[in-house]
Amino acid sequence: EAGVAQSPRYKIIEKRQSVAFWCNPISGHATLYWYQQILGQGPKLLIQFQNNGVVDDSQLPKDRFSAERLKGVDSTLKIQPAKLEDSAVYLCASSSNTGELFFGEGSRLTVL
């Protein structure tokens, strides 16, 4: 079974530029999550999708972050414009109804 795929693995941009991350969840997983993990901290939820609908985006900084999950499969997370404090690893995860999350390898963002 293929795991959660994420790209790119690494991205370096300057502040005020934009960036987009892509995630392909495990086939058949209805729920998809984007987490932000700052160095030395645990993952923090940004947004949760159930199929192509948003379940929870209460911690998403909506003035600069946006996410979509077209057709209830792949998802894209965008940051525009980026700030220095957005430097982090962006983790995508998916789950079925068992409760456990399956994570991708993450996309490491450095904002200069």
Partner 1 sequence: SQQGEEDPQALSIQEGENATMNCSYKTSINNLQWYRQNSGRGLVHLILIRSNEREKHSGRLRVTLDTSKKSSSLLITASRAADTASYFCATGLDTGRRALTFGSGTRLQVQP
Residues that bind partner 1 (CB under 8 A): 4, 31, 33, 35, 40-45, 48, 55-56, 91, 93, 95-106, 108
**In the complex, minimum distance from the CB of residue 37 to partner 1, in angstroms, rounded to a whole number:** 9
Closest contact distance (angstroms) between CB of 43 and partner 1 is 5
Q: Which is nearer to partner 1, 87 or 95 (CB)?
A: 95
Strands (E), 1-112: 5-7, 10-13, 19-24, 31-37, 44-50, 53-56, 65-68, 75-79, 88-95, 102-103, 107-111
Query: How near is the Cβ of 76 to partner 1 at its closest, in Å?
Result: 18
**CB of 4 closer than 8 Å to CB of 92:** yes
In terms of CB distance, is 18 or 59 closer to partner 1? 59
Q: Nearest distance from residue 45's CB to partner 1, in Å?
A: 5
How far is Cα 13 from Cα 59, in angstroms, rounded to an integer? 23
Angle at 62 between CA 42 and CA 97, to 5 degrees: 55
Smaller CB distance to partner 1: residue 8 or 18?
8
Place of tokens 């999708």: 49
Task: Kindly tell me which of 14 and 68 has the beta carbon lying closer to partner 1.
Answer: 68
